[in-house]
């Protein structure tokens, strides 16, 4: 059971931060999304065992994700549906994470994760559950277009730790596979579709 998580292309907010949390793609973001869609339509080989195929497409309701998913939908000839649990957190997730005093040392005793992060982590877990159920229904891999904070939190859910942080590139893809009773991280930041100057965070 394969789940692909694609971050949206660059948004205008990334160029000019504002109070508006639902901004569209920038010109660069549109280009990244177009390249992602064309690459996916080519059903690229990820290894010697098979190609990247998509049986169903879901997106966050936010503009930058919907615009990215629109390019993918047209390229693959697949309908795209909004999945509310794929929405980004309305806060900077990394600022909510615990910090250890040194590598491999525990977080100070008594530390408690903020409630809003815990709620967002539950949302990420729910999102993955919904995508896994959808994959079972359609009998194939599912692609979700979502956000950096959501993808990173979902990976922390899979890894069962809140101490780890990840860097997810605009239009980069994370690939997960449920096999033999456990999640496997197959790929982090697939970006073969992007030239070096468009590999941005």
| Whether pLDDT at 49 is above 80 | no
Q: Where are the domains of the chain?
A: 2-100+112-198
- Can you give the pLDDT at residue 51? 87
Point out which residues pair with 175 in neighbouring strands. 4, 187
The whole-chain average pLDDT of the chain stands at: 95
Q: Which residues contact 50 (CB under 8 A, 6 or more apart)?
A: none
Q: Distance between CA 19 and CA 150 in Å, rounded?
A: 19
Q: State the CB neighbour count (10 A cutoff) for residue 79.
A: 8
- Can you give the pLDDT at residue 101? 87
| Whether pLDDT at 4 is above 80 | yes
- Can you give the pLDDT at residue 89? 97
- Cα 194 to Cα 54, 85, 138, 149: the distances in Å are 20, 27, 29, 21
- Can you give the pLDDT at residue 104? 87
Q: Distance between CA 130 and CA 172 in Å, rounded?
A: 21
Q: β-strand 56-59 against 80-82: which pairing, if any?
A: parallel
Query: What does the block give as tokens for 43?
Result: 């059903």
Average pLDDT over residues 167-186: 97
Residue 110's pLDDT band, with cuts at 50, 70 and 90, is confident
Q: Distance between CA 142 and CA 59 in Å, rounded?
A: 11
Domain boundaries 2-100+112-198, corresponding CATH code: 3.40.50.1240
């Amino acid at each position: 059971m394969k789940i692909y998580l694609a971050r949206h292309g660059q948004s205008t907010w990334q160029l000019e931060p504002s109070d508006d949390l639902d901004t569209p793609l920038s010109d660069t973001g549109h280009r990244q999304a177009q390249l992602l869609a064309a690459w996916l339509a080519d059903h690229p080989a990820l290894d010697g065992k098979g190609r990247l195929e998509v049986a169903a497409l879901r997106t966050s309701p936010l503009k930058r994700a919907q615009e990215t998913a629109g390019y993918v939908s047209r390229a693959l000839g697949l309908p795209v549906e909004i999945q509310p649990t794929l929405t980004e957190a309305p806060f900077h997730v990394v600022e909510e994470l615990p910090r250890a005093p040194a590598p491999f040392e525990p977080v100070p005793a008594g530390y408690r994760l903020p409630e809003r992060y815990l709620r967002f982590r539950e949302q990420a877990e729910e999102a993955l559950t919904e995508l896994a159920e959808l994959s079972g229904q359609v009998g194939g891999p599912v692609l979700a277009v979502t956000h950096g904070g959501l993808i990173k939190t979902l990976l922390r859910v899979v890894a069962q730790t809140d101490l780890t942080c990840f860097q997810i590139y605009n239009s980069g893809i994370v690939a997960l596979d449920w096999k033999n009773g456990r999640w496997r991280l197959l790929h982090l930041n697939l970006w073969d579709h992007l030239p070096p100057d468009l590999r941005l965070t």
